[in-house]
């Protein structure tokens, strides 16, 4: 917390001098290209939203100033948008406050008042749903880089694009891994899924169950609980009693921390642990309880990889700036951001229709991406058909790519170690 | 006479204002003011006039919002067709909740309403039939005018304003009738009211029914406008609290208090979010919280006190 | 065996609820002021403990009293700056002002500490141990024991001391208390200070095994409200009893019925109890 003291002082100043005039943000130069970004910057999901915002700030800098080192990455080499005569990029951030209605208000404000050329966001699937509906009515392209709910691309929208892998992709990766492990002689006969009852928790659990069923993997136990639990001892005891071969946690950060600690307290160490993205990827989760969940397996669309690769360089830049590794949710967002700015550049115009056409024509190759997607190409529904992911394992303070073999940078270490 | 004149001027300005706003975002804020004023005025009937501080009105709001989108999902009718269903459901809920909890006094009543609302929120967020955690969606693209899905916020504004006008007219009538007198007696002290022969339970229930019905209508209108509902956004505790603080801010137990509260609080929320939200430092809520706190500190009876300084403090 | 572990876990959880509610019992129960910012008081205390540990390098034996002292002063400040002016007004003004205060505190913490989750090392007061197959955690035991002591202490303070008598007199009838020479303002300020200080102790202890974030108070506050109300306003032992009962019911229903419905069971029983006993378990009729 480098900023704590400064912010405390600022806060004291702010409270002492309420009469200070509100300082308006400096008026943007006329010729910037504005993209509206709607993320949860306050409320329960704020830590994720803040991390995404930080990553996007780095992205903006890469677009606006020359980064010749980032070979292949669109718009990195020069300044601003070459396709628009070098105009610079400006991101217009808005807070959705975790509410679908607020997200909608902000979308409307960004479109009608700030005249953004495209919208980007909005993290929670329910809010992506309502905000993209506003964009659709106004004919403004909307790019969703991280919301995974299936129904988002089933609405017949023409201005909606999504770069992230969705539920079924995630389930395929996990179950593929399980089958692979079985082939190598590891016993995985019983699988437990632990998920909260949010949209994220239930939808991911659902697709994993479906995929497991189809592939002959038995899900023997499903423990569901309400998000922001005060105690998870009962849940852990249920697991301990059934002792499944594999436990999959689908949890937000707050609950993931409690699970990590409670498993240690009750001395419960399943043979294999998968901690799905959200909570287990949160940098503050790794910071605070990472040493209690050593060997947890996670999915990721991003892993720093080997030196010299684009992903490695991106992570290095991020690390240099924020003092920690680029987390997976932020990486997916940043990847989506580069897809959007690339499309705007190719459109050569800020006309929404032309940007929409450019997005439709997107065909990015792995060499242009820093995430593990096989490319970016949108189908009729706006879903990226080339998205992909790999599995990583927490070893020390970092997630190391361990599966599939071809992309692994470290070796898989099983059984799950938990704490030392 | 002058009071009525002031009220007329206020209403006229309010109705004309959005037209002058020429900006869709501000017009939408104006529409949201009306919507919040409906639910807060509805809450005011039981919470303000009858003095029964319910912090569980999200139940009724949610009943309205869910009914609208559930009717759409099941029958493909326009969502607004679900509004009567929502009102009916919430009247039923009002009886089920009101009869046992009306035995409780003061804080006990408030806490019981919170508990019931949280209970229903958890059940709904796990109930597949109503969309569980995923929630329910309205028509993605409007199919006809009946879907009430407009690009401009103005139609919403006038629709909400019309509903509000009906509600305020009914409230005004009630205020002047025997019921208004009875509710005032109940608020002042239930035991005294009972000993004066006021049918306490009957009138409390009547106030709650009226309140629940209009809150449900507000919920349906919300769902029609936003086109999406899930347990947190329709049944969350913040929905209940918002109704209370809007009414309290303007002046609970007064006819125009909730409208005034909404006219201050909603734009305050939206401007602080527009100004500071993008910074992501939480400044939005620091400013918003501080302003609410200061108002309560210096005007504990609500802002309407400023206008009616000669009248006795209410609530 | 597992069931015993569940019940013991429930009792320890219940002790945390009781601990969490202790300050609220005094402020809400005695002074009849609804404090919507209670959860955020605890959040603040947790951050004081966290800073005490990370910045000043203090151990729990020091940072918990530090949290109590800081919160005592903070309680006085809040009383004189805010509560004094709204406490005799309508209940709605209290809701409004403490709700504003809650947002102010929550997001001031958010601004200073960011939205990230932090934790204290889980070995500060000793780790885990097993007694005959029953696994226990030292920090939870300490928290449970403190909850018990704090409750007894508060109860003795209120019922056995002259100060307690004055506090109760003011809570009962302000004007009459004034007539016999008690200064109500001072007494109420003191009540707020003591209430906030016990919140400080609670926060410091809970920080030992829970995560800390600006919104942590929000998720814990509701259960504290239910605890105080179930116990009966104004009854310190009632809150302890209610806290323990809620903890056990939650744990048992989570284990037997499923964690999703544990809160449903608690709320339903809560409403049921109020229906039978409108004054709470140990409240005065």
Give the integer Cα–Cα distance in Å for C96 and B244: 8
Q: How sure is the predictor about C58, in pLDDT bands with cuts at 50, 70 and 90?
A: very high
**Residue B46 near residue B264 (C-beta atoms within 8 A):** no
Distance of alpha carbon A315 from its chain centroid, rounded?
A: 15
Tell whether omega for the bond before A404 is within 30 degrees of 0, i.e. cis: yes
- The DSSP secondary structure of A385-411, one letter per residue, reads TT---EEEEEETTEEEEEESGGG-SS-
Residues within 8 A of C (CB atoms), B 236-255 only: 237, 241, 244-245, 247-249, 252
Give A325's DSSP letter. P
C-alpha distance from A154 to closest chain B C-alpha (Å):
10
Look at C103 and B292 and tell me if their CB atoms are within 8 Å. Answer: yes
Specify if C267 maps to a domain.
Answer: yes
Tell whether omega for the bond before C52 is within 30 degrees of 0, i.e. cis: no
Specify if C285 maps to a domain.
Answer: no
Looking up tokens 């219940």 gives: C14
Q: How sure is the predictor about A10, in pLDDT bands with cuts at 50, 70 and 90?
A: low
| Domains in chain C, number | 1
Nearest to A285 among C9, C117, C128 (CB): C117
Mean pLDDT, chain B, rounded, equals 90
**Residue A125 near residue A204 (C-beta atoms within 8 A):** no
**Residue A363 near residue A326 (C-beta atoms within 8 A):** no
B115 touches chain C (CB under 8 A): yes
| Chain A residue with Cα closest to C133 | A266
Whether pLDDT at A190 is above 80:
yes
Nearest to A261 among C111, C209, C223 (CB): C209
Instruction: Identify the domain containing residue B204 by its residue range.
Output: 21-236
Task: Look at residue A5 in the predicted model and tell me its pLDDT.
Answer: 57
User: Mean of the pLDDT values across residues B12-24?
Assistant: 78
Q: How far is CA B214 from CA A86, B83, B258, in A?
A: 55, 10, 14
Specify if C281 maps to a domain.
Answer: no
Task: Look at residue C90 in the predicted model and tell me its pLDDT.
Answer: 82
What does the pLDDT look like over A67-119, one tens digit per residue? 999 989 999 998 999 999 999 999 999 999 999 999 999 999 999 999 999 99
What does the pLDDT look like over B266-303, one tens digit per residue? 999 999 999 999 888 889 999 999 999 998 898 888 88
Q: Which residues pair with A403 in a beta bridge?
A: A391
In A185-236 the beta strands, taken as DSSP E runs, fall at: 191-196, 219-225
Mean pLDDT, chain C, rounded, equals 90
Please give, one letter per residue, the 3-state secondary structure of A341-371.
HHHHHHHCCCCHHHHHHHHHCCCECHHHCCC
Whether pLDDT at C264 is above 50:
yes
Specify if B5 maps to a domain.
Answer: no
Nearest to B300 among C89, C263, C279 (CB): C89
Instruction: Classify residue B8 by burial, with Cβ atoms within 10 Å: 0-12, 13-18, 19+.
Output: exposed
3-state SS, residue A65: coil
Hey, CA dihedral for A195, A198, A200, A205, is it positive or negative?
positive
Whether pLDDT at A15 is above 60:
no
What residues of B are in contact with residue C222 (Cβ under 8 Å)? 114, 118, 237
Task: Look at residue C128 in the predicted model and tell me its pLDDT.
Answer: 82
What residues of C are in contact with residue B249 (Cβ under 8 Å)? 96
Whether pLDDT at B125 is above 60:
yes
Task: Look at residue A372 in the predicted model and tell me its pLDDT.
Answer: 87
* Strand order across the A398-403 sheet: A219-225, A191-196, A246-250, A272-275, A297-300, A390-395, A398-403
Specify if B307 maps to a domain.
Answer: no
Q: How far is CA B5 from CA B167, B252, C192, C251, in A?
A: 20, 22, 46, 61
Instruction: Classify residue A403 by burial, with Cβ atoms within 10 Å: 0-12, 13-18, 19+.
Output: buried
Q: How sure is the predictor about C28, in pLDDT bands with cuts at 50, 70 and 90?
A: confident
Instruction: Identify the domain containing residue C99 by its residue range.
Output: 2-276
Give the integer Cα–Cα distance in Å for A178 and B166: 62
**Between residues A259 and B307, the one the model is more confident about:** A259
What does the pLDDT look like over B180-233, one tens digit per residue? 999 999 999 888 999 989 999 999 999 999 999 999 999 999 999 999 999 999
Look at C220 and A224 and tell me if their CB atoms are within 8 Å. Answer: no
Give the integer Cα–Cα distance in Å for A390 and A176: 11
C93 touches chain B (CB under 8 A): yes
| Chain A residue with Cα closest to B280 | A41
Hey, CA dihedral for A324, A329, A334, A338, is it positive or negative?
positive
Length of chain A equals: 420
Give the integer Cα–Cα distance in Å for B3 and A203: 56
Give the integer Cα–Cα distance in Å for C285 and C279: 6
Give the integer Cα–Cα distance in Å for C135 and A194: 22
What does the pLDDT look like over A207-252, one tens digit per residue? 999 999 999 999 999 999 998 899 999 999 999 999 999 999 999 9
C-alpha distance from B168 to closest chain A C-alpha (Å):
25
Q: Which residues pair with A300 in a beta bridge?
A: A390
What residues of C are in contact with residue A241 (Cβ under 8 Å)? 2
Residue A307, sorted as left (phi over 0), alpha (psi -120 to 50) or beta, turns out to be beta
β-pairing verdict for A142-144 and A118-121? parallel
3-state SS, residue A161: strand
Specify if B174 maps to a domain.
Answer: yes
Task: Look at residue B281 in the predicted model and tell me its pLDDT.
Answer: 85
Give the integer Cα–Cα distance in Å for B280 and B310: 44
**Residue C138 near residue C127 (C-beta atoms within 8 A):** yes
Give the integer Cα–Cα distance in Å for B182 and A228: 44
Specify if C284 maps to a domain.
Answer: no
Task: Look at residue B17 in the predicted model and tell me its pLDDT.
Answer: 75
| Domains in chain B, number | 1
3-state SS, residue A162: strand
Q: Give me the half-sphere count of Cα atoms (radius 13 Å) on the Cβ side of residue B254.
A: 27
Task: Look at residue A4 in the predicted model and tell me its pLDDT.
Answer: 58
Tokens found for residue B5: 């004149």
Task: Say which CATH number the domain at C187 has.
Answer: 1.10.3470
Nearest to C254 among A11, A46, A235 (CB): A235
Tokens found for residue C178: 């004034």
Give A225's DSSP letter. E
User: Mean of the pLDDT values across residues C146-175?
Assistant: 88
3-state SS, residue A269: coil
Specify if B11 maps to a domain.
Answer: no
| Longest alpha-carbon distance in chain B | 58
3-state SS, residue C161: coil
Look at B284 and A136 and tell me if their CB atoms are within 8 Å. Answer: no
Look at C229 and B245 and tell me if their CB atoms are within 8 Å. Answer: no
Give the integer Cα–Cα distance in Å for A192 and A416: 15
Task: Look at residue A17 in the predicted model and tell me its pLDDT.
Answer: 39
Q: Show the domains of chain A with their CATH numbers.
A: 30-165+308-368 (3.40.50.2300), 167-300+390-407 (3.40.50.2300)
Task: Look at residue B194 in the predicted model and tell me its pLDDT.
Answer: 92
Note the helical H segments in A243-378: 253-265, 277-281, 283-289, 310-322, 328-347, 352-360
User: Mean of the pLDDT values across residues A134-163?
Assistant: 93
What is the distance between the terminal CA atoms of chain C, rounded to a whole angstrom? 40
User: Mean of the pLDDT values across residues B171-178?
Assistant: 94
């Amino acid at each position: 917390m480098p900023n704590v003291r400064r912010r405390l002082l600022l806060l004291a100043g702010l409270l002492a001098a309420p009469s200070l005039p509100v300082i308006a943000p400096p008026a943007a130069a006329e010729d910037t290209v504005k993209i509206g970004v709607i993320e949860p910057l306050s409320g329960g999901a704020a830590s994720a939203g803040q991390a995404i915002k930080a990553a996007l700030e780095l992205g903006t800098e890469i677009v606006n100033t020359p980064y010749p080192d980032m070979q292949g990455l669109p718009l990195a080499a020069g300044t601003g948008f070459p396709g628009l005569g070098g105009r610079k990029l400006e991101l217009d951030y808005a807070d959705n406050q975790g509410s679908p209605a607020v997200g909608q208000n902000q979308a409307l404000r960004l479109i009608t008042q700030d005249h953004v050329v495209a919208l980007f966001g909005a993290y929670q699937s329910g809010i992506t749903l309502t905000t993209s509906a506003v964009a659709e009515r106004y004919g403004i392209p909307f790019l969703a880089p991280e919301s995974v709910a299936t129904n988002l691309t089933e609405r017949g929208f023409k201005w909606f694009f999504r770069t992230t892998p969705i539920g079924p992709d995630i389930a395929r990766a996990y179950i593929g891994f399980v089958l692979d492990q079985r082939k190598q002689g590891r016993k995985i006969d019983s699988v437990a899924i632990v998920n909260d009852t949010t949209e994220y928790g239930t939808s991911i659990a659902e697709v994993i169950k479906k995929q497991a069923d189809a592939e002959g993997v038995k899900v023997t136990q499903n423990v569901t609980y309400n998000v922001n639990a005060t105690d998870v001892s009962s849940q852990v005891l249920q697991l301990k009693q059934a002792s499944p071969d594999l436990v999959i946690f689908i949890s937000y950060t707050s609950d993931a921390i409690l699970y990590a600690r409670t498993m240690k307290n009750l001395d419960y160490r399943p043979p294999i642990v998968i901690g799905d993205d959200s909570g287990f990827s949160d940098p503050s989760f790794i910071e605070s309880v990472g040493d209690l969940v050593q060997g947890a397996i996670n999915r990721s669309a991003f892993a720093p990889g080997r030196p010299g690769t684009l992903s490695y360089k991106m992570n290095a830049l991020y690390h240099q700036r924020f003092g920690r590794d680029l987390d997976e949710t932020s990486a997916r967002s940043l990847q989506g951001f580069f897809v959007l700015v690339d499309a705007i550049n190719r459109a050569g115009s800020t006309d929404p229709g032309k940007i929409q056409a450019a997005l439709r024509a997107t065909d990015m190759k792995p060499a242009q991406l820093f995430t593990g997607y096989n490319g970016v190409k949108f189908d009729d529904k706006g879903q990226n058909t080339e998205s992909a992911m790999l599995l990583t394992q927490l070893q020390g303070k970092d997630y190391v790519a361990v599966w599939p073999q071809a992309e692994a940078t470290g070796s898989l270490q099983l059984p799950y170690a938990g704490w030392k | 006479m002058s009071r009525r004149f002031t009220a007329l001027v206020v209403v006229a300005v309010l109705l004309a204002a959005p037209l002058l706003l020429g900006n869709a975002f501000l017009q939408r804020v104006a529409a949201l003011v009306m919507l919040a004023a409906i639910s807060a005025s509805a809450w005011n009937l039981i919470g303000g006039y009858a003095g029964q501080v319910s912090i569980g009105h999200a139940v009724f709001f949610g009943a309205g919002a869910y009914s609208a989108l559930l009717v759409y999902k099941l029958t493909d009718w326009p969502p607004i067709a679900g509004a009567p269903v929502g009102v009916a459901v919430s009247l039923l809920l009002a009886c089920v909740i009101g009869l046992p909890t009306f035995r409780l006094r003061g804080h006990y009543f408030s806490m019981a309403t919170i508990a019931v609302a949280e209970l229903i929120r958890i059940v709904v967020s796990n109930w597949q039939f109503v969309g569980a955690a995923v929630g329910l969606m309205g028509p993605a693209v409007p199919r006809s005018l009946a879907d009430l899905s407009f690009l401009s916020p103005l139609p919403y504004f006038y629709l909400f304003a019309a509903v509000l006008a009906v509600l305020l007219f009914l409230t005004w009538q009630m205020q002047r009738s025997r019921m208004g007198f009875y509710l005032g007696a109940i608020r002042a002290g239930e035991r005294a009211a009972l000993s004066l022969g006021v049918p306490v339970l009957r009138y409390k229930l009547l106030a709650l029914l009226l309140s629940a019905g209009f809150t449900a209508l507000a919920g349906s209108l919300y769902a029609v406008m936003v086109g999406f509902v899930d347990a947190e956004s329709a049944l969350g505790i913040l929905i209940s609290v918002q109704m209370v603080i809007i009414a309290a801010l303007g002046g609970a137990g007064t006819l125009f208090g909730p409208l005034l509260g909404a006219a201050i609080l909603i734009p305050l929320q939206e401007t602080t979010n527009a100004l500071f939200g993008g910074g992501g430092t939480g400044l939005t809520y620091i400013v918003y919280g501080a302003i609410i706190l200061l108002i309560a500190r210096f005007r504990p009876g609500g802002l309407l006190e400023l206008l009616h300084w000669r009248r006795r403090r209410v609530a | 065996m597992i069931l015993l572990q569940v019940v013991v876990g429930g009792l320890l959880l219940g002790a945390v609820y009781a601990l969490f509610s202790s300050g609220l019992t005094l402020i809400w129960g005695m002074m009849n002021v609804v404090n919507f910012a209670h959860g955020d008081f605890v959040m603040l205390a947790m951050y004081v403990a966290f800073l005490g540990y990370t910045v000043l390098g203090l151990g729990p034996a020091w940072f918990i009293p530090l949290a109590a002292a800081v919160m005592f002063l903070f309680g006085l400040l809040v009383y004189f700056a805010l509560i004094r002016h709204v406490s005799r007004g309508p209940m709605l003004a209290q809701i409004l002002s403490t709700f504003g205060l809650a947002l102010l505190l929550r997001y001031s913490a958010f601004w200073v500490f960011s939205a990230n989750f932090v934790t204290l090392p889980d070995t500060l007061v000793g780790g885990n141990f097993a007694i005959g197959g029953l696994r226990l955690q030292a920090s939870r035991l300490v928290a449970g024991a403190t909850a018990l002591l704090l409750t007894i202490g508060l109860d003795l303070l209120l019922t056995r001391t002259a100060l307690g008598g004055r506090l109760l007199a003011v809570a009962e009838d302000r004007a009459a208390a004034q007539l016999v020479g008690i200064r109500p303002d001072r007494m109420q300020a003191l009540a707020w200070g003591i209430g906030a200080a016990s919140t400080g102790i609670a926060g410091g202890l809970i920080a030992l095994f829970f995560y800390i974030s600006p919104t942590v108070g929000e998720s814990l506050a509701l259960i504290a409200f239910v605890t105080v109300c179930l116990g009966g306003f104004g009854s310190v032992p009632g809150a302890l009893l209610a806290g323990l009962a809620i903890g056990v019911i939650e744990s048992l229903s989570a284990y037997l019925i499923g964690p999703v419905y544990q809160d449903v069971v608690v709320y339903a029983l809560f409403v049921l109890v109020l229906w039978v006993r409108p004054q709470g378990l140990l409240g005065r009729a």
